[in-house]
Structure 1
């Protein structure tokens, strides 16, 4: 990677390229759902347009699809900044750089170490087993609503200490806040009242933080409250929005990842037996799942100076989307990368981010998915669904890809 733009001409836009039959030109926002499973787009881009220029409103956005280019950008946070807006829209860790990122992350990081998260395993197993048993008794059901979301939301609620009695209202607000965040920070489509609902959620979280402070709670929420009210390490706004970020990050992506586990056991039914009989198979399954079906498909960066990728000049101030899900399927790194193989060495992927922006909740997401995988191996003989009727994909989002709903049929083990 060079810091000189040279004399190279800018490449054509995505919509000007000759895409293969069946693939619409890659767009910033997937409003039609044609990019709901964008892996064929990524494969073509890696080969033909690894630095893809996409026209968006009054500025270009660059899509970076190869592993090496994504890694190089992630390794240079001074050249490729996470803070893409001059004025920070929300106190979310994914939007921050350097001192502010470190200051906020330090407040919550201790709760998400592997050692501390391992203490939650019994509760995860209890909730997951109860939810899975109910689905098995019904011979199946919708995975997100009946299993993945209740499990992940219950766990992050217990860690942050958001009252479970309010969970339906909180779930609605959290969805609205995520939509609002995606709209103002990632140019995704919004909803008519998403900002007002997000502000209602922040008001609720603020009141909850004050309650946790008064109670002397040792939860993540309590620590955020003390960092605001005692130490002054956080402003009131930062404390409130950080709490919202930790909560939503704690269930939204992991629920999609868990749904991916159900999918792969439908596509590869023989793996259920391996999960049941090989003690180390569940952990290898989870790591390959994160590589191949990680729900976060892209991270956004902004260049601080003129640079170059693959011989293409990228001006200072440009917005880039590093397609980590494409990088995770780069055939130059993982042969037969579009095949799910729990025997491959899957480490080195970007499914949980990289460097200073490695996902804070990765230990929790891994454990929740591991426990789910173990229970599926123990309790289920087969997982099936109709690909045309039973799966509906998210669309329109600028960051997360995966099932919005997934209905499965389950046959219990004898």
Structure 2
């Protein structure tokens, strides 16, 4: 199976179900990755960083064509104790106060964006809505003015294609190198400005964070900035876009959420399970291992299919059914354990505020002339062109 094949990208869930039934741990294309499809096997990997290493995949972010990619110095590719130290430092700055500080600004922004959408005319919700909420949140977090938000979006879009670029893809390689250089230069400038004149933003908080007398190094700061740029933007964009499509496909659900907006957080949780943006997480085996009935040699890359685990029949009743009443919190939309996503609550808050604004104004959504297309990535999945018309009546 090729996980990047067009028919798989259009609807991967039947293919994931086939893997769970017949080959729960097996090699797939591209590149002979070992796909891990069942919930229990995914949890086994996530709970055992010594045998299934995050740091081991650092080489993935240091190909010959870009040896200085800051993502190779981020928490994403660290194991304890290095990961523990860095996460502790970042958590000092990236805590509950961030959400408290951002919420009123993002609520006002969400309502302003929704008010600007035309009534009854096709709209590119990705460009005019889904991207603008998290990109504004990111700009607020790192103290970058709205005039540069389009540049942030461009850098993130280019760099998210990193995992699908091969050794012979010279043009995409050059675009990624250019975006990395531009983003690095800009973040270095902003960090230097915050050292001289601290402000009420995340960059200033990161510079002042200390644990046991230790602060973040410049390399660690840059790694976190790139992780925040890519992970913090793409996750929420795809979650919001998929949520809008779901509301268009299910008018009764949209009507219920309009009547009972207190159910929006529950809707977001079920969206994260049923159609979540994170589809794959990579780990590297540090020894020969038996997993899901398969023998996986040392030094092999595992692709944990989070979206498959979240629809595992052994864990969820009728997993393919979207159920607003579904109880429990066993889904894995943001990882587990030491690598549970630091920005999970921020993503949920951004989605909640955006959907509250959307549902407060519009009563229904109708499709445009073109069907939705889906991005190409092993890690994230989301619609990139859902032309929908929103109606107030």
**TM-score, scaled to structure 2:** 0.89
Aligned counterparts, 1:128-139, within 5 A: 128-137=110-119, 139=121
Q: Shift in Å at residue 151 of structure 1?
A: 0.9
Relative to 1, partners in 2 of residues 1:126 and 1:86: Cα closer, same or farther, differing over 3 Å? closer
> What residue ranges of structure 1 are gaps of 5+ in the alignment?
1-24
Whether contact under 8 Å (1:179, 1:191) holds in the other structure is: no
Q: Shift in Å at residue 84 of structure 1?
A: 2.6
Aligned counterparts, 1:292-371, within 5 A: 292-371=274-353
Give the match's secondary structure for 2:73.
coil
Give the match's secondary structure for 1:394.
coil
Whether contact under 8 Å (2:268, 2:348) holds in the other structure is: yes
Relative to 1, partners in 2 of residues 1:300 and 1:85: Cα closer, same or farther, differing over 3 Å? closer
Aligned partners of 1:205, 1:180: CA distance in 2, in Å?
20
Match of 1:41 in 2: 15
Relative to 1, partners in 2 of residues 1:227 and 1:121: Cα closer, same or farther, differing over 3 Å? closer
Q: Shift in Å at residue 334 of structure 1?
A: 1.4
> Which one of 347, 372, 378 corresponds to residue 398 of structure 1?
378
Q: Shift in Å at residue 177 of structure 1?
A: 3.1
Q: Shift in Å at residue 46 of structure 1?
A: 0.9
Relative to 1, partners in 2 of residues 1:140 and 1:108: Cα closer, same or farther, differing over 3 Å? farther
Match of 1:26 in 2: 2
Q: Shift in Å at residue 55 of structure 1?
A: 5.6
Whether contact under 8 Å (2:58, 2:77) holds in the other structure is: no
Match of 2:389 in 1: 409
Give the match's secondary structure for 2:373.
strand
> Which one of 94, 102, 111 corresponds to residue 84 of structure 2?
102
Could you give the per-residue CA deviations for residues 174-229 of structure 1, whole angstroms, max 9, x where no partner exists? 32333346649xx9x9443211221121011111110111112242112334469x
Give the match's secondary structure for 1:98.
coil
Whether contact under 8 Å (1:74, 1:80) holds in the other structure is: yes
Give the match's secondary structure for 1:299.
strand
- Within the alignment, does 1:51 sit opposite 2:33 as a pair? no
Q: Shift in Å at residue 123 of structure 1?
A: 1.4
Give the match's secondary structure for 2:320.
coil
Give the match's secondary structure for 2:18.
helix
Whether contact under 8 Å (2:156, 2:233) holds in the other structure is: no
- Within the alignment, does 1:239 sit opposite 2:221 as a pair? yes
Of residues 70-79 and 98-107 in structure 1, the stretch that sits farther from structure 2 once superposed is: 98-107
- Within the alignment, does 1:192 sit opposite 2:181 as a pair? no
Give the match's secondary structure for 1:317.
coil
- Within the alignment, does 1:389 sit opposite 2:370 as a pair? yes
Give the match's secondary structure for 2:148.
helix
Aligned partners of 1:34, 1:362: CA distance in 2, in Å?
27
Whether contact under 8 Å (2:107, 2:353) holds in the other structure is: yes
* Larger fraction in helix: 2
Aligned partners of 2:313, 2:366: CA distance in 1, in Å?
29
Deviating 4+ runs (over 6 angstroms): none
Of residues 32-41 and 121-130 in structure 1, the stretch that sits farther from structure 2 once superposed is: 32-41
Could you give the per-residue CA deviations for residues 91-119 of structure 1, whole angstroms, max 9, x where no partner exists? 22222111222233233324443454144
Whether contact under 8 Å (1:131, 1:147) holds in the other structure is: yes
Give the match's secondary structure for 1:340.
coil
> Which one of 153, 158, 161 corresponds to residue 171 of structure 1?
153
Whether contact under 8 Å (1:180, 1:195) holds in the other structure is: no
**TM-score, scaled to structure 1:** 0.84
Aligned partners of 1:294, 1:112: CA distance in 2, in Å?
23
Relative to 1, partners in 2 of residues 1:180 and 1:54: Cα closer, same or farther, differing over 3 Å? closer
Whether contact under 8 Å (1:107, 1:223) holds in the other structure is: no
Match of 2:125 in 1: 143
Match of 1:3 in 2: none
Give the match's secondary structure for 2:131.
helix
